[in-house]
Amino acid sequence: MPVIKIDYAGEKFSDDTIRELCEYTRTATSETMNLPLEDVTVNANKNQITAGAYPIEIYIQASPRHFPDELIMEKILDGMKEKIAAFKSLHNIQTPFNIAIIKMDWKFAIEI
């Protein structure tokens, strides 16, 4: 179950653009990782206070079973870079985005 977190500078992006980015990123992650859409969640947060932060950071977090080796992580990162570049082009966004793939060694319970 990948969790995507998007941190962004509120003065650079409209709420509508971020909503679209959330849905787009969710679908792109589902497709890139070959997972059902309902297994992918996205949260976006406006930065309140920053020091040296990029205008937008996308963190894709998932368990080691989703990223069994570095080659898979690179493949997913490359696929996401292409999809995010397409989103930026479609919305004429010139602001640079950062994307991080993070292997999380976690245990969780859902729908308690």
| pLDDT (0 to 100) of residue 77 | 95
Per residue in 35-68, pLDDT (tens digit) is: 999 999 999 999 998 888 899 999 999 998 888 8
Please compute Rg for the chain using Cα positions: 14
Nearest to 81 by CA among 95, 61, 100: 100
| pLDDT (0 to 100) of residue 92 | 96
DSSP annotation of 39 reads G
| pLDDT (0 to 100) of residue 101 | 94
Per residue in 62-89, pLDDT (tens digit) is: 998 888 888 899 999 999 999 999 999 9
pTM of the model: 0.90
What's the mean per-residue pLDDT of the chain? 93
Backbone φ and ψ for 78, nearest 5 degrees, come out as: -60, -45
Residue 110 has pLDDT above 90, yes or no: no
Nearest to 10 by CA among 51, 48, 43, 42: 48
Backbone φ and ψ for 49, nearest 5 degrees, come out as: -140, 130
Average pLDDT, integer, range 21-36:
96
